[in-house]
């Protein structure tokens, strides 16, 4: 894998694999993260997300496969790439007896690319961006988990970055802190930074990301824009009617398969609801309504519901995702 002359991808992997004995934590994944995207890396806990990030950043050695970050093969070009990447992986680790600002000063001083003359300004700016200016002088041992998480993000922002990698960035944050991180991620993307966000929180990915990939048991099972992932799911037709049996007969006549209902689902006004998956069927919604009318089925409501991201991801992984914190 050579440098990408077009510069279209911030991260690319080919056949990336990491084994621990006979167990494949990451199993031959081909990941493509466009530059400028806010890319959500989704999957249940234990699906291989953090291991993949460690491989991308050169923190672990791959068993096989290739990784390119910002157009350069990793880990061969580690020293060239890492100064252009900010990362928060597996939670922040700081000296508990030092203040938040002092911790950032020490970290910045260890960066040979960071000029000392502007260190204070960089630290102050990073703390302000994550809402920690008021706690800059407080010892980290007195920080809450959410405050430590913000300090970790501030660390990743000490210098301008082309790529920001955040592993569970809203972990431990209250709703207000979560909104602030979401806003921060959007502002960074608007400035041209590619943001790679690993999360098991579906709602957060939906609200902040432009693209996503889904991991399940070490394998990459889907990736693309959020709209692409939604379109790949199964849509349903839902009919609100008191004539349940008649509606079911019409759907079957049209070649659809009504979902079995022992006790018909009812909507908020108490009417039964009959539903059927559309799959790749060519029956138009208008034709379904017309057939219902011809069969004298009373229709009090009709809708075609597109698959949600939750539906799609559960179908891909066989596991549920946390919908909110």
Number of domains present in the structure of the chain: 2
Give the mean pLDDT of 45-59.
Answer: 90
Query: Do residue 204 and residue 287 come from a single domain?
Result: no
Residue 323, pLDDT score = 41
Assess contact for 111 and 72: CB atoms under 8 A: no
DSSP 8-class letter at 130: T
Token representation of residue 236: 């349903």
258-293: pLDDT as tens digits: 887 544 455 445 678 998 888 766 788 899 999 999
Give the mean pLDDT of 68-75.
Answer: 93
Query: Do residue 94 and residue 162 come from a single domain?
Result: yes
Q: Whose structure tokens read 């999360």? A: 199
Residue 319, pLDDT score = 56
Query: Do residue 267 and residue 168 come from a single domain?
Result: no
More confident residue, 203 or 302: 302
Query: Do residue 220 and residue 243 come from a single domain?
Result: no
Domain end residue (candidates: 183, 208, 231): 231
Q: Does residue 225 lie within any of the structural domains? A: yes
Q: Does residue 319 lie within any of the structural domains? A: no
Residue 267, pLDDT score = 46
Residue 30, pLDDT score = 96
In this structure, what CATH number is given to the domain that contains residue 270? 3.30.70
Residue 259, pLDDT score = 83
Residue 318, pLDDT score = 61
Residue 81, pLDDT score = 92
Write out the residue range of the structural domain in which residue 188 sits: 9-231
Weakest mean pLDDT among 17-26, 78-87, 198-207, 239-248: 198-207
Distance CA 40, CA 196 (A): 6
Give the mean pLDDT of 214-218.
Answer: 89
In this structure, what CATH number is given to the domain that contains residue 21? 3.40.50.300
Query: Do residue 87 and residue 160 come from a single domain?
Result: yes
Q: Is the pLDDT of residue 91 over 90?
A: no
More confident residue, 138 or 257: 138
Residue 317, pLDDT score = 62
pTM: 0.75
Domain end residue (candidates: 183, 201, 231): 231
More confident residue, 42 or 308: 42
Helix (H) or strand (E) holding 124: helix 119-129
Number of neighbouring beta carbons within 10 Å of residue 267 = 12
292-303: pLDDT as tens digits: 999 999 999 999
Q: Does residue 301 lie within any of the structural domains? A: yes
Determine the straight-line distance between the first and last CA of the chain, rounded to whole angstroms.
39
Q: Does residue 320 lie within any of the structural domains? A: no
Label residue 71 by pLDDT band (50, 70, 90): very high
| Strand ranges inside the chain, DSSP E | 9-20, 23-29, 32-34, 38-42, 64-69, 72-74, 85-88, 163-167, 194-199, 211-216, 219-225, 236-240, 265-266, 272-277, 301-305
Query: Do residue 45 and residue 188 come from a single domain?
Result: yes
Query: Do residue 67 and residue 195 come from a single domain?
Result: yes
Weakest mean pLDDT among 2-16, 37-51, 60-74, 305-319: 305-319
Residue 243, pLDDT score = 92
Question: What share of the chain has pLDDT > 90, as a percent?
Answer: 47
Query: Do residue 244 and residue 222 come from a single domain?
Result: no
222-247: pLDDT as tens digits: 899 988 887 766 778 899 999 999 99
Query: Do residue 158 and residue 187 come from a single domain?
Result: yes
Query: Do residue 100 and residue 164 come from a single domain?
Result: yes
């Amino acid at each position: 894998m050579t440098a990408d002359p077009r510069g279209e991808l911030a991260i690319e992997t080919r056949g990336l694999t990491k084994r621990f004995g006979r167990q494949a934590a990451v199993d031959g994944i081909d990941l493509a993260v466009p530059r400028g995207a806010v890319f959500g890396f989704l999957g249940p806990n234990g699906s291989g997300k953090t291991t993949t990030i460690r491989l991308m950043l050169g923190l672990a050695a791959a068993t096989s496969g290739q990784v390119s970050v910002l157009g350069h093969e990793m880990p061969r070009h580690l020293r060239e790439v890492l100064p252009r990447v900010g990362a928060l992986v597996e939670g922040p680790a700081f000296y508990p007896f030092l203040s938040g600002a002092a911790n950032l000063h020490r970290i910045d001083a260890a960066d040979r690319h960071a000029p000392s003359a502007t260190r204070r300004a960089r630290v102050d700016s990073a703390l302000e961006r994550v809402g920690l200016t008021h706690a800059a002088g407080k010892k980290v041992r007195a920080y809450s988990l959410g405050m430590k998480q913000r300090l970790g993000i501030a660390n990743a922002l000490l210098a301008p970055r082309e790529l920001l990698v955040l592993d569970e960035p809203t972990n431990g944050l209250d709703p207000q802190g979560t909104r602030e991180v979401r806003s921060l991620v959007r502002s960074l993307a608007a400035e041209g930074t590619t943001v790679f966000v690993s999360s098991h929180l579906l709602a957060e990915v939906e609200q902040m990301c432009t693209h996503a990939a889904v991991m399940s048991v070490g394998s990459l099972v889907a990736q693309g824009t959020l709209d692409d992932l939604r379109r790949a799911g199964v849509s349903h037709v839902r009919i609100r009617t008191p004539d349940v049996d008649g509606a079911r007969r019409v759907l079957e006549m049209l070649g659809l398969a009504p979902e079995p209902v022992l006790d018909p689902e009812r909507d908020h006004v108490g009417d039964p609801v009959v539903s059927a998956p559309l799959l790749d069927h060519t029956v138009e919604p208008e034709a379904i309504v017309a057939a219902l009318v011809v069969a004298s089925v009373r229709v009090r409501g009709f809708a075609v519901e597109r698959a949600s991201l939750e539906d799609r991801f559960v179908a891909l992984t066989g596991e549920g995702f946390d919908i909110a914190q």
